[in-house]
Structure formats: structure tokens, C-alpha cells
Chain A
Amino acid sequence: MSKERRIIPQSERYARWGYAFITPWIIGFLVFTFIPMVYSMYLAFTDYDTINPPKWVGFSNFVKMFTKGEMWHSLWITVKFGILSLPLGLFAGFMLAYLLNMKIPGMKFWRTIFYLPAMISGVVVAMLWRGMFDDQYGMINFILRTAGLRGPQWLLDPKYTLYCFLFLSVWGCGGGMVVYLSGLQSIPTALYEAAEIDGCSKFQQLIHVTVPQMTPIFFFNLIMGLIGMFQYFAEPMVLTKGGPADSTMFYNLYLYKHAFQFRNMGYASALAWFLFVIVLLLTLLTFKSSELWVFYESEVKK
């Protein structure tokens, strides 16, 4: 009896090849992300010092987390930083892109210069700014002294430390700028021409044409900024290690301290999952709010 060969549709053949090509990624994802993630969920309910086997402790890590002031302190530091740095970063990135979208001489040079900070690793940025913030020999206090002002001890006085990180964050807004720039360049010129014919000034064009057209980009940068804010780690780790007196103890630093300094991996896993829930909720909330303020060209608002 002859076997009839099944004819495989072309789409399925393509799909098989597709899966074959992404198999290395899937293996990497499973081994290095998905399985550790699931395992960390289990660890969050254990007492685990990374040497001895995990001991089941139920919800006690979560109880400790919510009843200890330290976690709330680090969360507040992170949120406070985010409230200040997110809008500032979004605004600075957009304005920079807006200026660099104009036809001025040496445009490619300026774009490169402003994008450079985004290319440098967080650790290098932190080392660089450490010198800038030096209270005696740093550039910032030198400028203030030249202007007859007394500069503070930026990285040593808890009143000022958080603001140092604002400088860093705004300085690195070049990454967002590139995205804004591509958004600006994709706005149809016909819209500007129409606005001009209607007698709109440049400022009115910015408010009524550019900004609404750019809302999907704002939305994208907001989501990325939000996630980045809760992942903030390298710069405070290098610059202050959470000090002085825990004034820069960002959430991730606090998590790191418990995981790798105290080898309290169970508690650190509970912290990580709480962080995941916070980021998820905030992202969902932002997505929900986007219906009110994000405008897509192809979309018809009711």
C-alpha cells in the first residue's frame, strides 16, 4: 500500500523555518529569563542564602517587606526621582529634537554631539559626573564660585544628592531625542503648509500640529522612561552606593544589597516581584490613559 505524502502548505513551511531560526533565542529566553523568573517566584516564599537549600517561609518575606520602612523609603526615593526626572527628560529630549530638526549649519555635528551621552555606558557617565560634582575641584562648583556663589557638597550632603542624578538623567536625554527626531521628520509637511496658509505662527504650529502628531512618540518614551526609572541602578551604584545615609537608596540598589550583600535571596526575590507588579500596573495605567491623549493618524476618535 503506497503512502500518500501530505502536501505541506507554503505558509507552514515558512513557519517551520521561522521557528528553526528563532530556536537559539527561544532556548536563551527559557534558560536565562523564563525559568529563572519562575524560580524567583518560588524563592520569594523561601529563606535562601544561596548556599543552603531554600527553606519555605510562606508570606513572611512579603510581610517583612511591607512592614519594614526601608522598602518604602527606597520606593519613595525612586518615585521622587521619577516624578522629577521623567517629565524633565521627556521635555528636554523633545526640545532638543525640535531644535535639531531645524535647518541650521553643522546639523549632523550637533546631532552627534547631543546623542553621544546616550552612547556612553551608565558607569562611565557616573565616573565622569563624579568629577564634575566634586565640591572642591569639580566643574559645577567652579562655575558657581566664578559667579560668586557657594556650591554645595553635591554628593556628600543628603539634601543635594538626588538632584545630582537629575543632572545625569537630563544629560543622557539624547537617546529619546533620536526617537523624537525620527517622529518629527515623519510629520507630513502638508500639515505645516496648511497651517501656514491658515496663518498659524511657528509656536501655534508647534502646539497644534507638532505636539499632537508626536503623542505616540511621547507615549513610547514615557513607557520606556517609566520602566527605566524603576531599573535605575548603575549610576547610583557607582556614584553613591545608596548613601549618604541612604538618601540615594533607589529600589534596585536596595534589592541588590539584599540579594548580593546580605545573600538574602528570598527577600530580594519578593522585592523583585513587587517591583514587577508596580511596573506592570503603572504601564497598564499609562496604556489606559493613552486613549485620552495619544493621537494616531489612522485612528478616528469618537
Chain B
Amino acid sequence: MKKTLTVLLAILLCFAMVMIVSCSKGDSGSSSTSTTAKAPAKEKVKIQIMVGFGTGTDPSQIAVHEELQKQFNDTVGKEKGIELEFLTVPYADAATKFTTLVAAGMSPDICGPVGIMGVAQFIDQWLDIEPYIKKDNIDLSDYDDALVESNRYNVDGESKLVGLPIGYYPSALFYNEDIYDRAGLEYPPEEWGTADWTYDKLYEQARLMTLDMWGADANDPDFDMDNVVQYGYDGTDWSPWRAWVGKFFDENGKSVALGMSDDYKTATMNSPEWIKAFTELERMIYVEKVRPRSDAAAGASLFGDSDPLGSNRLGVWETFSWMSYAFETWDANFSWNIGAIPSMDGHVVSATNIDTFVITKSSKHPDEAWEVYKWLFSDEIYSKLNHNYGGIPAMKELQAQWLDEQKAERPNINWKVLLDAGAYADNPNNESWVPGYSRVWDEMEFAMASIISGLYDSPEQVAEDLNDEVQDILDEYWAAK
């Protein structure tokens, strides 16, 4: 009896081990099609594009991908012996799916569209495409230079260009004209860099639009900040804290958004500029009382989950243009428009998100992946992709057409504000890579949340604590190198 049990368990254990071994690393997956040595020479190489790190997962967008897949496979693919496949995964699962595929030796060949944050999280997984660009003489002057450079990284002393920009999403002021009208205020200017358009001026407007449940505005001495029913201003909550810090510049005229030295070894988040950024946030919430104490992502707020302006209880929302999915709701409920971001200490900065496609280092067919990449960035396909994702095209010659299309759809909106924002894009970008990326991000969000939720002693202390934590992360990162 005992013997039978032992034998049975041994068989089961062996079976389990075989299962695990067969599911783990090895030359499986996409390689199987190409590495079958006995296969005919003309067997196609399969190139997989993983979609899910950003936009591109809506059914209508998937349909466009399928159409492009067919188009490629019927034309270029047939000619070059490449079979293209789009693999779409939900945004929430993308990172886990990607790491699993790479760990299992089944890496996708291309990922995208992916924002700078997605690129930064897996910075060591992307191929440097600069050699391919040089080999094929790709003209980078077709794109806005700043947008190309946003995909260039200097990681551990190695400089690489990981992708070309497909589209960008600047931030601007999206405002509710009805609330402005009720408060008797002038709308924010359409021109960027207007001399007297400062955050002080914006606060002044926002105080008049912030109302408590008894109708008093934020200028009223009896204003009840615990029972606010309409706010004047909300910031870029969904972006990292650096989207706000990027508005502050050091004495050399350089934005302090990075929060660390250029060699990424010393944290500088307790610098006077960072303390000023925290103090300014404190001012907005507790002194001017114009900004909600919650952030949109925390839910259970006055504004619901993901669209504060859509609540029709917010005067101005400084946010990115990728939230165009909410335009229809706004159209149905109130009049709205777009204005320029004001200046902070004389500097005007529009935090910007930029999408790209990247080739994975672990792709077994980088040359074929590059052929697909080139096809994606050819004029006709680029335009289709860009339409699909709703960004402003980074390819300059398509920008005028984009503007015309937007105007045709919503003639009363100041679309040019978004196009002109490119000249004020943040540098370094708010999502750009730093060592220990996710942990540094988390620490920054914690510091920001401490002030928003009132759990802090002083902005100086918040900055000091943050700096200590981030320095620990940097030390750990470099010690492991």
C-alpha cells in the first residue's frame, strides 16, 4: 500500500516537473517557425506586435490593427517573407504579460503604442534602433526634434534611441465655459506665453469658481472648505509628480523635474525648487482652497473616477490631450474650450506624453522587426495609426491636416492651443527614466499624497523625507551594478 502511494506520488512529481520544464524557457514560441531547420527556405518569419501598454485596445482600434495586419501580410509581408500579428492585451495586464512572455523566451518583437513611462519601466528590454536608422538613411527631420529626443536614453552610460514618435499628447487648460460665464470671468488666453497669464492669475479666477454648498466662493471669509460643491482648478493628477515639479527651474535655467544629479547618483529632491513645488501645492489646497483634496484616481471624490471636468463641477482642468475620449460627454453637458497653461516664475511648461513603438532586445528576428517598423512609420500607415490613437502627429507634415480635421469636427474649440504646446513641452519629460523607476515614482506619489491628504508637518520635511528615500533607492541601484 505504502509502496503504491510512493510510486504514484513519484509519477505525479515527474509529471509536474515535465509540465514546468515544458512551460519554462526554451526556444519555443515565435522561434519555432523560423528555427525549424528542415523547413523550406521560404517559410515566413512571424513578427508579433504587442499592444496594451497604452492606447490601442478599444474594439475600434483593434479593428484597425487587424486591417493593417492583413494589408501588410498581403503586400510587404508576402514579398519579404514576414507574417505580421498584432497581440492585444488589456492595459492592466500588459506589464505582467510582457515579463511572462520574455521570461518564457516568447518575447514579442515590437511593443506599442507605448508611452515614455512604459518605455522607462522596461528600459533595458528595448533595442537601440539608431544603427538601423543610419543604415536605411531615415530622415529624422520629418519629426519634431524634441519628440525624437524624448526617446533617447542614457542608461548606465550607454546612449540609445529606442523608438520614433508616433504621436504626442500635450497638456493644456481644458475649461468649462459655462462655469466661467456664471462667475463673470474672462476665458484663459489662447496664446502661449501671454505676459500676465500666471498661476497667481489662474488662482484668482479659480477662487471665484470654487463654491461651497451654501454658495460662498473661496474669497468669502465664511467659505467652508469641507463642503465644496464646485472647484476652480484641478491639476495633472494622473501624471507623475514631476509633471508639476517640471514647472520649476534652477538658477541655471534648467527644469528640476529629474530630481537627481545628471549621473543619476544623487537625489536632489530636497532642493529649494522642489520645496517650492510642494509649497505651491500646499498653497493651492489650503491657502487658495481652489484645488480638491483628492486626486481623481483615488475615486470617491466629487468628480467621480476619471473625468473631473465631466462632472460639470470644475472650472479648469490642466490635463493631457489624450483624454479626448471625454469630449463627447462634455459636448452633451456644457460648453468647453482649451486655453494655454500659465507661467510659473516666468516659465511656461506643458507636461507632455509621447507614444512610440519599440523593438524588443529579446526579439529573435530584429531585422524583420525593423522591416515591419519601417512599414509602420511609412507615410500612409503612420497617418492611419495616428488617427487610430488620436494623438497629434509627431510627423510635422501631418500636423496641419490634423488641425483641419479637429476644426471640422468641433469648429468652436481652440485646437491650435494644443499644436502650439509642442514648443513648451517639458524637458526632461515628466515620465523620463530614472534608476529604480517604479519605486521612485511611488515615493514621489506618496509625498504628493501626504500633502493632499494633510498628513505632513511641512513641505520642507516632505521634501527631506522623499530625498532620503529616493537616495536609498539610488544607492541600492548602483550598488547592484
Contacts and interface: CB of A to CB of B under 8 A. Distances in A.
Interface of A: 12, 15-16, 19, 23, 26-27, 30-31, 35, 47, 49-51, 130-131, 133-136, 138, 150, 153-158, 239-241, 243-247, 257, 260-264
Interface string B427-464: 00000000000110010001001101111000000000
Contacts of A241: 297-298
B185 interface: no
B154 interface: no
Interface in B129-154: none
A153 B227 CA distance: 10
Nearest to A11: B1
Interface string B284-314: 0000000001100111111000000000000
Given A156-B294, A245-B455, A263 B449 contact: no
B302 A136 contact: yes
Nearest to B213: A136
A154 B300 contact: yes
Contacts of A15: 1, 4
Given A155-B299, A262-B439, A245 B293 contact: no
Contacts of A239: 299-300
Given A133-B300, A261-B442, A51 B125 contact: yes
B455 A158 contact: yes
Interface size, B (range): 35 or more
B300 A155 contact: yes
Given A130-B299, A244-B449, A261-B438, A12 B1 contact: yes
Interface in B317-361: none
A30 B103 contact: no
A68 B99 CA distance: 27
Interface in B100-152: 100, 102-103, 122, 125
Closest 6 CB pairs of A and B: A244-B453, A155-B300, A30-B16, A50-B99, A245-B455, A245-B449
Q: Most chain-B Cβ atoms within 10 A of its Cβ — which of A47, A153, A158, A245?
A: A245
Given A136-B229, A240-B298, A262 B455 contact: no
B293 A247 contact: no
B255 to A, nearest CB: 26
Contacts of B96: 260
Nearest to B20: A35
16 contacts: A15-B1, A27-B12, A30-B13, A35-B20, A47-B480, A50-B100, A51-B102, A51-B103, A153-B226, A154-B300, A239-B299, A243-B449, A243-B453, A244-B294, A260-B95, A263-B95
A203 to B, nearest CB: 42
Nearest to B362: A51
A246 B452 CA distance: 12
A104 B100 CA distance: 56
Nearest to A133: B300
B238 interface: no
